[in-house]
Amino acid sequence: MSLTHFDASGASRMVDVGGKPETARTAVASAVVRMQPATLALIRDKRLSKGDVLEVARLAGIMGAKKTADLIPLCHPLPLTSVEIAFEFVGDSTLRVKATAQVFARTGVEMEALTAVSVAALTVYDMAKAVDRGMTVESIRLDEKIGGKSGRFVHPDSPDSPADPAGSS
């Protein structure tokens, strides 16, 4: 397998996607923010003095997805058709953040979903750090991608993972 972001001499390059067909593509990424139970309760009950942490984080995640090509050097700017950020309280000390990004383009949208979930999780940290500097942002990963030449990928640890180890369906 060759790395497509390097030419034969090892120089960095942006991959030419001009010959690829435009297709619908979706990527889902997630992250976990661990914190003290009291911090999670403040976030869940919207009692932090900075306001509604999750709504600010949702907007930050969407904005992060839109800025991905400005942050990751070899990413193509993409005309995103949708970015959604969702939150799930897991137990008494864990917040799961999920980002879903969609595009109709010649290249995938994985980096936009990963950037969105990262920025959203970091925003949760920023908004709540005054009450809990020990929070951790963990397990940032691509959970699923659909579309393009390689088809579907589902992370092996995902509850939606297909039975075959190749992750395709």
> Any idea which residues carry the catalytic annotation?
126
> Whole-angstrom Cα distance, residue 108 to residue 131?
38
> Whole-angstrom Cα distance, residue 114 to residue 68?
9
> Whole-angstrom Cα distance, residue 105 to residue 100?
16
Mapping DSSP onto H, E and C, the string for the chain reads CCCCCECCCCCECCCCCCCCCCEEEEEEEEEEEECCHHHHHHHHCCCCCCCCHHHHHHHHHHHHHHCHHHHCCCCCCCCEEEEEEEEEEECCCEEEEEEEEEEEECCCCHHHHHHHHHHHHHHHHHHHCCCCCCCEEEEEEEEEEECCCCCCEECCCCCCCCCCCCCCC
